[in-house]
Structure 1
Amino acid sequence: MPGMQVDPPAGGPGQSACCHSLVRTLRDPLTLLLGRSSALDKLFADDDLKAMLPKMDNATEESMGDLSNPMVMRTYYSRLLPWKAMFLWLNQSYVPTRQFTHREFAFTLQNEAYLRYQSFAGADELKQEVLRLNPSRFEIGPMYSGRPKDRKALMKAAFRPMTRELVFDIDMTDYDSVRTCCKDKKMCSRCWKFITVAVKVLDEILRSDFGFRHILWVYSGRRGIHAWISDPAALQMTDEQRSAIVRYIDIVKGYTTMEKRMALHRPLHPTVERAYETCLRSAFANVVLKDQDCWKTDPHQWEQVLGLIPDKENVAELLKKFPASSTAPSIDRFKDLRKAHTRATPKQVERHDQAVQDLQIQYMYPRIDTEVSRKLNHLLKAPFCIHPGTGKVCVPILASQIDSFDPDTVPTVGKLLLELEELSRRGDTAADWGKTSLRPYVELFERHAEAVAKEKAREVKAAKAMSMEF
């Protein structure tokens, strides 16, 4: 049944079966789920996996990316996903520690069954289990006080989450009330600009206000982006501390539909003031007024915005000048909107100016999924998974390069397997991510993981030195 949680099938890696037996086995989804085929349990010796590719004539990116073919994901997991870098990033050391061995993993299988509380001794064991189960995706949770797979043998009070990365999730659907080019699950390079602005502002807050350094931004594969913060201080945060950071950042909560005015305190908080001056004001002009042309494209937004302005005499004039049938561009409307009524008192002018500024911030300030960040035990999709709806890889990106990032150029699993197929035709049957368009993303991830591990090593060294002094 979709969504049900089941225990993982038994079995393990061994000697490979022949290719024809493999194809016959993989055509039976029940066999794949329950692991009853000894041939399936013996498929995963690395030497044989290096040669695995979906076999088809006249291969195209679309055919090689057919996620209904079990060999597509299995080949991707075998030859392209950077397991060692994944291990180093989560473990923060080259030698397995509790940070990895006590870490929860969860798998979504091809039939939507959901396996939670999986844990592994190292990268190889995780890889082998992923190859065996062949999930559509997997998620990463916290490090627990005991190994998650042994939780049933532990007292309930003795099994609790201890550490995990501080994570944030920004989803394009939270901008549905203001973007005009797409809705729901659809996204294009135009509305992606809202995410671009959110990343710039949130990254600056996390670095400047909280001092975090090891922030990994990961494109979700369709219409959002995730942030993983691996600093020691972030890992050790309690639920209360995580919630406090969320409250510090989430100033737009409750005001995303533009039906209610977000009235900020004056003077503005330094964080909001900095964001407005360095990013939001110009972004509002470029994204809302020019590119999206929100108030011309969506007359209902124009009416909502006018309802947020306290200068009712000015609002009446603007409604008369720019009725619902008006084709005037948003930038012209904003010029008139900024001007307070000629008969307004100095106090009314001040309130009007503040309302206009609040409006710009309300449109462009980051909108985060607060529940993702509040709790230690929350799970989040792993980097380098494949989005089942788009076939795109969930690739890491740099906040400093977010302006040049185009989601449409992110490699799909079909593109990557087609690249492997072309290499195979030239005689290179053992090629991995290093010879594909995934390479720059993996190299970025490796650099990030190494930096995290070095920080952890310095912390351990300093703790040992301090203990020796006493």
Structure 2
Amino acid sequence: MTMELSEQHLNQALSQLRQVPSFDGSTDQLNAFIKRIDYILHLYPTRDVRQHSILYGAIELQVTGDAQRISQRTAANTWQELRNALIEEYKVQTPFEELLRRLYNTNYQGNVQQLKMPEQNADQESQPQAPQESKAPVYDASILPDMLPVYYRRLFPHEPFYRWLNYGHSEDNIFVNREISFTLQDDIYIRYLCFETQAELEKEICSRNPYKIDIGPVMNTRPKNFRTVAGGLTPVQRELVFDIDATDYDDIRNCCSGAEICLKCWKFMMLAARVLDAALREDFGFEHMLWIFSGRRGIHCWVCDHTARHLDARARAAVAEYLNILTYTNNTARVQMGDRTHHSLRRALKILEPMFEEIVLEDQNLFGTPKGVNRLLQMVSDEAARNDLESYLQKQHEDGAHSKLVWDSFVRYANSMRTSAANVWSRKLKHIVQEVQLCLLYPRLDINVTKGFNHLLKAPFCIHPATGKVCIPFSVSAVAKFDPTTVPTISQLLQEINAYDDKTKSYMEAPEDKSRIKDYKKTSMFKGVVVFEEFLRKLERNFKTKSMDF
């Protein structure tokens, strides 16, 4: 069967082609122009001659100025012909000295013919190549504006997203008074948005194609009326939210820093989620926590119980302070357990202690340098005890000794000093070993996010503009199996739905069929949506139970 676009998707393709910045012959614009046209045609494949002609006509309109002369001179009838002509005419002519510099900086692997310059790559892209479905495409932020319309129309889970914010119609105006904000291309920020229905929200998302969607509180009236409300808007409810960022662990992670994250430092996030989830359930009685990977290097937790959503600002601050056990002195984190260890700290230690050696001593080798040993010493709050410990460790180990050896010596010394006589080690520092473990592995919360009743937080299923990754839900019970490095990018997802549709032809044959498989089920995003829907089922079951009790 001939692959043919539906009229709806043909119009979408034409709309996106018209939004591509025109090419007037400037050599520095050639690569971006070709990549965007190629990508749009890749998203909307067709073998129909009439549709090819229509699409090519739209492309020709985007070729202006001097470049239009090339189009007319070559009498090109297809994009491939025009593409080749533009590359031949406007590709950058690299000076010989520049070629030598690039060759010198290229990793030579034994075959000169394998060394390719960017200009050669541009020429070779014009030739048909066999698809490599096994390799995920590299995310290119420059074509995010072309990918977002397809993502929001075909992949974003609009119906479950609405069900979440609507809370089963359990309260009046809970959806319509919710503040939502959009961040558009070029950092255009739009606040005080609100919507009456799922269809209205979906239409606005698909129309504006936001780079980021933020969710705020439910207000006392429609947020869009903020200019006319006497005294301003007042938040009346909002999920209790937590934000944990890997950058807050930069002083103790040696594998990565800044925006980077790997499987080793993901273990900090894993333990943070486990400890926080247990505290919220056992100490506060909350049941409905939605855990989200932030798309780059952190995690968010949305506590959606009715009680949590109706906490006032003082109660939120109290919860945040209860869960925030770290104190900082001269930029050094410390924990004070006191004479009687609180049950929440004992529970946290049961979760953290089994992973301490693997994470701190092996993965990070935290005390394997003089700087690392000094960090350990600074956690000892008593100056005299700290100096004695430093002298002991210097006698026991040379600089660069492995963290495991340093830690074992520290534990032996602390235990021997605590039992030898009545001193600071048997009083103030009697829990120092456990305090260091808590200090290094306990969740490092951004408590201002939790305290803020009016704070807006990034919504699930957004695309992180810097990484292209989906802000995807995960199950805290399976957090150890979650791999942030393999979270799908928008490029990968669109490739997956194209590969599925090419294989089955289902999308082209029955684009309007309501029984057709949902597009996100064709992709690696499916698991995240399943986690989200399972969370919603438990949440909605709770609403039904309360309704029956009433």
Provide TM-score, normalisation by structure 2. Answer: 0.72
Residues of 1 paired with 2:206 and 2:288: CA distance? Answer: 30
Kept in 2, the 8 Å contact 1:104–1:148? The answer is yes
- Secondary structure of the structure 2 residue equivalent to 1:216: strand
Kept in 1, the 8 Å contact 2:9–2:44? The answer is no
Of 469, 476, 479, which aligns to 1:402? 479
Q: Does 1:142 align with 2:217?
A: yes
**Partner of residue 161, structure 2:** 86
Q: Are the structure 2 counterparts of residues 293 and 353 from structure 1 closer, same or farther at C-alpha, using a change threshold of 3 Å?
A: farther
TM-superposed deviation, 1:69:
4.2
Q: Are the structure 2 counterparts of residues 163 and 262 from structure 1 closer, same or farther at C-alpha, using a change threshold of 3 Å?
A: same
Of 421, 431, 437, which aligns to 1:360? 437
Q: Are the structure 2 counterparts of residues 63 and 293 from structure 1 closer, same or farther at C-alpha, using a change threshold of 3 Å?
A: closer
Q: Does 1:106 align with 2:181?
A: yes
The C-alpha deviation readout for 1:241-260, integer Å capped at 9, x for no partner, is 00000010001142695x35
Alignment of 1:300-339 (within 5 A): 300-309=371-380, 310=382, 311=385, 312-323=387-398, 326-339=399-412
Residues of 2 paired with 1:367 and 1:410: CA distance? Answer: 23
Kept in 2, the 8 Å contact 1:411–1:438? The answer is yes
Q: Are the structure 2 counterparts of residues 16 and 390 from structure 1 closer, same or farther at C-alpha, using a change threshold of 3 Å?
A: closer
Letter in 1 for 2:468: G
Residues of 2 paired with 1:274 and 1:64: CA distance? Answer: 41
Of 253, 262, 283, which aligns to 1:188? 262
Residues of 2 paired with 1:69 and 1:285: CA distance? Answer: 42
Alignment of 1:258-277 (within 5 A): 259=332, 261-276=334-349
**Partner of residue 287, structure 1:** 359
Kept in 2, the 8 Å contact 1:54–1:71? The answer is no
- Secondary structure of the structure 2 residue equivalent to 1:191: helix
**Partner of residue 242, structure 2:** 168
**Partner of residue 53, structure 1:** 43
Kept in 1, the 8 Å contact 2:180–2:193? The answer is yes
Of 192, 203, 206, which aligns to 1:117? 192
Residues of 1 paired with 2:400 and 2:308: CA distance? Answer: 49
TM-superposed deviation, 1:356:
2.3
Kept in 2, the 8 Å contact 1:256–1:362? The answer is no
**Partner of residue 74, structure 2:** none
TM-superposed deviation, 1:392:
0.9
Of 457, 463, 467, which aligns to 1:386? 463
The C-alpha deviation readout for 1:252-283, integer Å capped at 9, x for no partner, is 142695x354333121111011211x112222
Kept in 2, the 8 Å contact 1:52–1:75? The answer is no
Larger relative contact order, structure 1 or 2 (CA cutoff 8 Å, min sep 6): 1
Kept in 2, the 8 Å contact 1:66–1:72? The answer is no
Provide TM-score, normalisation by structure 1. Answer: 0.84
Residues of 2 paired with 1:359 and 1:164: CA distance? Answer: 35
Uncovered stretches (5+) of structure 1, i.e. residues with no partner? 1-14, 30-50, 466-470
Residues of 1 paired with 2:162 and 2:330: CA distance? Answer: 38
Give the structure with higher Rg (CA). Answer: 2
TM-superposed deviation, 1:63:
6.2
Letter in 2 for 1:313: D
Kept in 1, the 8 Å contact 2:220–2:234? The answer is yes
Residues of 2 paired with 1:138 and 1:395: CA distance? Answer: 14
- Secondary structure of the structure 2 residue equivalent to 1:197: helix
Q: Does 1:71 align with 2:146?
A: yes
The C-alpha deviation readout for 1:198-252, integer Å capped at 9, x for no partner, is 1110000000000100001000111100001110100110011000000100011
TM-superposed deviation, 1:192:
0.8
TM-superposed deviation, 1:453:
2.2
Kept in 2, the 8 Å contact 1:65–1:72? The answer is no
Residues of 1 paired with 2:266 and 2:139: CA distance? Answer: 27
Of 439, 444, 452, which aligns to 2:539? 452
Greater fraction helix:
2
Letter in 2 for 1:188: C
Letter in 1 for 2:423: K
The C-alpha deviation readout for 1:60-80, integer Å capped at 9, x for no partner, is 743676553422011111111
Aligned residues: 423
- Secondary structure of the structure 1 residue equivalent to 2:190: strand
Residues of 1 paired with 2:175 and 2:196: CA distance? Answer: 7
**Partner of residue 274, structure 2:** 200
Kept in 2, the 8 Å contact 1:306–1:315? The answer is yes
Q: CA RMSD in A?
A: 2.6
TM-superposed deviation, 1:327:
2.7
Q: Are the structure 2 counterparts of residues 293 and 20 from structure 1 closer, same or farther at C-alpha, using a change threshold of 3 Å?
A: closer
Kept in 1, the 8 Å contact 2:324–2:444? The answer is yes
Of 490, 493, 501, which aligns to 1:424? 501
- Secondary structure of the structure 2 residue equivalent to 1:390: coil
**Partner of residue 155, structure 1:** 230
TM-superposed deviation, 1:100:
0.9
**Partner of residue 107, structure 2:** none
Of 16, 22, 25, which aligns to 2:18? 25
